[in-house]
Amino acid sequence: MSDGRGPGGSGRRGEPGRPEREPGGRGRPEGGGPGPRRDTHGRERNRGGRGPRQFSGQAPSQRSRAADPARLVAFEVLRAVSRDDAYANLVMPQSIRRHRLDRRDAAFATELAYGALRGQGTYDAILALNVDRPLSQLDPAVLDVLRLGAHQLLAMRVPPHAALNQTVALTRAVVGAGPSSLVNAVLRRVSARTADEWLAELTAAQPDATERDALAYAHPSWIVRALRQSLAAHGRPVEEITELLDADNAAPVVNLVALPGLGRLEEALDAGAQPGDLVEDSALSGGGDLGRLPAVREGTLRAQDVGSQLVARAVAAAPLHRAGDVPADAAGADRRPERWLDVCAGPGGKAALLGALAAEQGATLLANEVAPHRAELVRKALAPVPDSVWEVRTGDGRDLGREYPGRFDRVVVDAPCTGLGALRRRPESRWRRSPSDLAELGPLQRALLDAAIDAAAPGGVVGYITCSPHPAETTVVVADALKRRHDIELLDAGAALDAVALRPLGAGHDGTAQLWPHVHSTDAMFLALFRKLPAATPSKET
Ligand SMILES: C[S@@+](CC[C@H](N)C(=O)[O-])C[C@H]1O[C@@H](n2cnc3c(N)ncnc32)[C@H](O)[C@@H]1O
């Protein structure tokens, strides 16, 4: 799309890791083999260029029945997401392995499935203009095929004839010959215009700017509204909304962390990763199969968003005011080892980093998680850290304040949230969330924060973290805690982030801090830092 809008991408094509530019060439005979031929950029060969679109003269029923394996993988992912409520990022690697896709085809399948999922709302609106019945009356498998076809035609650099023929072949293979005529007819109509032309038609009669942005950037309108509110709540101009929505549509580069004292970045850098410029021990992956790096297999080099690294490090580094501690620089200072607590640790990304930092600082970490299978993931994540340093507890974090009153020097509450700050990583999640999630999560977030404060020792610090910038999950939770409790004070989270960052982040506002995909290229992580006051007064409410 000319201005980079729309479900297909961020206008930042050609970034490292963008699958459309995947190098290599497979040289499979077009039409004769099981799939299309892709060029050295991973794009299917375009015989027709941008000229008049040329489609096969054969009736859909006469064309190939064999589905291109990459498209089959994309279809399986869409089906699993819409039929089974699966997570695309979990299903995708399994399906890629099952179909033994090579690297280029895997990149194509990923771009196709993730792009179709991100753009679903907009593609459905375009498809609705071209189908003679409500989309809800279509076989859901046919609707998924149509979404895949629409994404190829409108946002990928797939030549129209290949998009159409291959999608019809996919329909014949996975749904049956009957619906292939409908898919053929609908996609021909879709291919008659560009994405910008369809958007112009969809938005022409739409007076509301939010609704227009929702269509143009493929987000539900309530999320557009929520993100605009979020920008305002964290002191950023609301005009940045389109940059933010655009950033949600870009495929994120995988961020890496080498666990301090345990892992080394060299392996990743030798494999083409770039050193991260926001926080130490981090790198931006150059793509490829990270699982073949020994450090990744042993768990000392991990995929972790740089925003998550920053907030975890900020809590680990914030100064404590412990009673009885001698000044840090006093000779022979004899301090009790610090005790750290991660209240919501699963699946263990921050716990692994905190565990490594705790080991370096002579501290211990209790990592708590309510879901047993996720607690198991926390154990796995912590495995490379000496086991004298950490313990995993499986249980409700809301009980920790009662069980361990005033016990921990550093407490992290990475609260369950809507994840509105990580939409770029979870392509389907924007269509699954609803405003009611905010109402449901609010009481749990407050109760977990209360438990964290209760479990903190006087002079200790509590970091409240969400991967959502929504004020209902961030600033309002913080304001409520400050109103409700007299045993905490708010610390400057922006300064705490800057203290662990390699350059000033400018993330602070009114004492809390908010990172952004369109500003920092991180997930939109929120951090509030509290100090537990020495003369603790019990909370006014429970
Ligand atoms: C945002 S995730 C935490 C991510 C984690 N800190 C990391 O960096 O990998 C929130 C976690 O809280 C867990 N959770 C939800 N309710 C909980 C509760 N009442 N007590 C403890 N953990 C809870 C969820 O199962 C989920 O694993």
In this structure, the strands spanning 512-514 and 526-532 are antiparallel
Contact criterion met (CB below 8 Å) for 342 and 354 = yes
Q: What is the ipTM of this complex?
A: 1.00
Q: How far is the CA of 63 from the centre of ligand 1 (A)?
A: 50
Average pLDDT over residues 220-226: 98
Residue 345 annotated as part of some ligand binding site: yes
Asked if pLDDT for residue 2 goes beyond 60, the answer is no
Residue 347 annotated as part of some ligand binding site: yes
- 246 found inside a domain: no
- 36 found inside a domain: yes
Determine which residue's CA is closest to atom 10 belonging to ligand 1. 416
Test site for ligand 1: of 89, 344, 377, 523, most ligand atoms within 8 A of the Cβ = 344
Contact criterion met (CB below 8 Å) for 487 and 478 = no
Structural domain that includes position 60:
19-48+55-197
Asked if pLDDT for residue 55 goes beyond 70, the answer is no
- 493 found inside a domain: yes
* Model confidence band, residue 47 (pLDDT cutoffs 50, 70, 90): very low
- 150 found inside a domain: yes
- Using CB distances shorter than 6 Å, the residues near ligand 1 are 308, 344-350, 368-371, 374, 396-398, 414, 416
DSSP character for 420?
A: G
Determine which residue's CA is closest to atom 15 belonging to ligand 1. 416
What is the position in ligand 1's atom list of the atom closest to the CA of 416?
10
* Model confidence band, residue 353 (pLDDT cutoffs 50, 70, 90): very high
Which CATH number goes with the domain that contains 508? 3.40.50.150
Last residue of a domain, one of 143, 168, 197: 197
Average pLDDT over residues 317-328: 74
Q: How far is the CA of 368 from the centre of ligand 1 (A)?
A: 8
Which CATH number goes with the domain that contains 187? 1.10.940.10
39 or 289, greater pLDDT = 289
Q: How far is the CA of 415 from the centre of ligand 1 (A)?
A: 6
- 106 found inside a domain: yes
DSSP H helical ranges for 139-278: 140-154, 160-174, 180-191, 195-204, 209-216, 221-233, 241-248, 266-270
Last residue of a domain, one of 149, 164, 197: 197
Structure confidence at residue 256 (pLDDT):
97
Determine which residue's CA is closest to atom 25 belonging to ligand 1. 371
Residues 40 and 184 in one domain: yes
Positions annotated as catalytic residues are 467
Residue 226 annotated as part of some ligand binding site: no
Residues 355 and 493 in one domain: yes
Q: Can you give the pTM of this predicted structure?
A: 0.88
Q: Which amino acid is at 71?
A: R
pLDDT digits (tens, 9 = 90+) for 421-436: 999 999 999 999 999 9
* Model confidence band, residue 66 (pLDDT cutoffs 50, 70, 90): confident
What is the position in ligand 1's atom list of the atom closest to the CA of 346?
27
Last residue of a domain, one of 170, 197, 224: 197
Q: How far is the CA of 213 from the centre of ligand 1 (A)?
A: 32
Helix (H, G, I), strand (E, B) or coil at 244: helix
For residue 482, count other CB atoms closer than 10 A to its CB: 15
Residues 190 and 309 in one domain: no
Number of domains, the chain: 2
Contact criterion met (CB below 8 Å) for 491 and 511 = yes
Structure confidence at residue 335 (pLDDT):
77
DSSP character for 398?
A: G
Determine which residue's CA is closest to atom 7 belonging to ligand 1. 349
Residues 185 and 334 in one domain: no
Residue 414 annotated as part of some ligand binding site: yes
Query: What is the chain's mean pLDDT, rounded?
Result: 88
Residues 310 and 458 in one domain: yes
DSSP H helical ranges for 63-159: 69-84, 88-98, 103-118, 120-128, 140-154
* Model confidence band, residue 236 (pLDDT cutoffs 50, 70, 90): very high
Q: How far is the CA of 452 from the centre of ligand 1 (A)?
A: 13
Residue 235 annotated as part of some ligand binding site: no
At 51, list the tokens. 């000229």
Determine which residue's CA is closest to atom 27 belonging to ligand 1. 346
